[in-house]
Structure 1
């Protein structure tokens, strides 16, 4: 078996930064809202029930990471997902978590005392 090549600190740092973007619940909520297509900032503010400043802060971070696109129309800014791979990544994580939760439920049911006397 071949030994893995060492990865540069810069590469590791960039990967960690990308994953950290998904570590913020509000960003995941925004991505979920954008799953069906582009939305203007005001739509995102209303759907997340938070301030425009908060939504804009998270949109900027995801834009800088190349996850989102921004399009202006008049005075409105519309955002959409640039990198659909982000949804595949989220689906993998959600599937893994669902499997763990299902297994935990089976473990609890196996331990249940209901119906046993």
Structure 2
């Protein structure tokens, strides 16, 4: 039987791994492209302007993490987002970053105005 401490460490490790998956810019670009629905690998290659090997590598990581779904049709693989909640998480982060940028802009404007007195 696992101790509470080792269970907590396991949970923290899994959460950290999930966030590390989202810490890769190309994966965020792919998720954004999948926001409007499923796409085949070739479409993602064209829209990201990168190699098929690179796109496939990132798709595999997100598929294994349960972030994406995959289906095949003939020789093509199609990917879609498995849990739309991922977009809520990304939106929360974007709003926080935008707030910080706006605060920084206000400080710059205030500083600029202070210098003109």
TM-score norm. by structure 1 comes to: 0.91
Unaligned runs of at least 5 residues, structure 1:
none
**Structure 1 residue 39 and structure 2 residue 35: aligned?**
no
Q: How many residues align?
A: 113
SS at match of 2:71: strand
Summarize the alignment of residues 1-16 of structure 1 with structure 2, pairs less than 5 Å apart.
8-16=8-16
The residue aligned with 1:48 is 48
Summarize the alignment of residues 6-85 of structure 1 with structure 2, pairs less than 5 Å apart.
8-85=8-85
SS at match of 1:66: coil
TM-score norm. by structure 2 comes to: 0.91
The residue aligned with 2:107 is 107
Distance 1:65 1:12 in 2: 15
Unaligned runs of at least 5 residues, structure 2:
none
Cα displacement (A) at 1:9: 1.2
| Structure 1 segments of 4+ aligned residues over 3 angstroms from their partners | none
Aligned-residue RMSD, C-alpha? 1.6
